[in-house]
Amino acid sequence: MAKLVATGPNADQIEFWNGEGGEKFVRYQNALDLMLKPFGDEAMRRADVKAGEAVLDIGCGCGDTSIDLAMAVGVTGEVVGVDISEPMLARAEYMAGQTELTNVFFELADVEAGPLHRDSFDLAFSRFGVMFFRNPVTAFSNVHAALRKGGRLSFACWQALPRNQWVSIQLQAVLPLVPPPPMGPEDPGPFSFADRERLRGILSQAGFTDIAIEPFDTEVALGGMLVLDDAVDFSLEIGPATALLKGASDDVRAQARDAVRAALQTHQTKRGVMLAAGAWIVTATKG
């Protein structure tokens, strides 16, 4: 696989997903797949995937959804997963190699950087792989160009932080101990599409029509079915609280751990630490 150099408007994301971010997503792959599965399943259900279709999986990461999509389209269809992260794509190749599938392929590419397989796909899909573009209109215009006429778009992205207790609860616990993040609400990151009207405008500018943005609210077991202390470790390893604690002293880290543990404790159940999570399921077409 050719290397992707960390340059251009997404240089910081390329660096993150090929460094610490990608390494952690690979390490916690099972936990993350368990947590994210209901959202991906809902986006697939709304996509109405059919046998024989060609599907683009945007920001496919470790390949869980690419594999599910490849099963759904069958031997007469095919799936191409694209991502900027070499370690995650290596994991995706490995996971696909553990199956009998011959119709799933992975490509290292920045979706925003240029056209991808023009007029080739019936469906462009993503599970939380589309919120990290510096110029989302450019990226979605490339996705639009990759679809055949009448092709569909279906993806899951996060609603606003307050609707996502599985992240906000740790941030609230940690914020009294560290300076707040310097990020703006529309900067590339998990919550950059929280504003539904902004998202609709981006998709419309990129050429999509029949845009529907529906809430999908549920509860997730933090990191899968983890006991409290493992859920605390998971919280401090992955997600926005981790970034806030970067460079913090051992003393602050210990205080943060206690605060996160206390916050999560009240949500501990026999099924794990259960917290609210809210996504948008977005569908649109290339008219």
Q: Which of 44, 46, 49, 85 binds ligand SAM (CB under 6 A)?
A: 85
In 3D space, the residue among 274, 281, 285, 12 whose CA is nearest the CA of residue 158 turns out to be 281
Can you give the C-alpha Rg of the chain in angstroms?
Answer: 19
Q: 104-108 and 147-158: which strand pairing?
A: unpaired
106 near ligand SAM (CB under 6 A): no
82 near ligand SAM (CB under 6 A): yes
Q: Which helix (H) or strand (E) holds 272?
A: strand 272-285
**Could you give the string, one character per residue 25-44, with x where binding to ligand SAM holds by CB under 6 A and - elsewhere?**
-------x---x--------
Q: Which of 4, 10, 155, 257 binds ligand SAM (CB under 6 A)?
A: 10
Pick between residue 128 and residue 280 the one whose CB is nearest to ligand SAM. Answer: 128
CA atoms 207, 210, 215, 220: torsion sign:
negative
64 near ligand SAM (CB under 6 A): yes
110 near ligand SAM (CB under 6 A): yes
Pick between residue 116 and residue 244 the one whose CB is nearest to ligand SAM. Answer: 116
DSSP SS3 for 24 = helix
Q: Which of 26, 43, 84, 167 binds ligand SAM (CB under 6 A)?
A: 84
Q: What's the min distance (Å) between Cβ of 85 and ligand SAM?
A: 4
The number of C-alpha atoms within 13 Å of 219 and in the hemisphere containing its C-beta is: 10
CB atoms within 10 A of CB 39: 24
66 near ligand SAM (CB under 6 A): no
Alpha carbons 30 and 145: distance in angstroms, whole number: 33
Pick between residue 238 and residue 259 the one whose CB is nearest to ligand SAM. Answer: 238
* Cβ–Cβ < 8 Å for 57, 69: yes
87 near ligand SAM (CB under 6 A): no
166 near ligand SAM (CB under 6 A): no
Q: Which of 34, 55, 60, 73 binds ligand SAM (CB under 6 A)?
A: 60
Q: Which of 28, 35, 53, 59 binds ligand SAM (CB under 6 A)?
A: 59
Residue in the structure block whose two tokens are 């996060």: 158
CA 124 vs CA 34, 111, 145: distances in Å:
22, 12, 11
Q: What's the min distance (Å) between Cβ of 72 and ligand SAM?
A: 16
* Cβ–Cβ < 8 Å for 15, 6: yes
The residues of the shown chain that bind ligand SAM, judged by CB under 6 A, are 10, 13, 17, 32, 36, 59-62, 64-65, 82-85, 88, 110-112, 127-129, 132-133
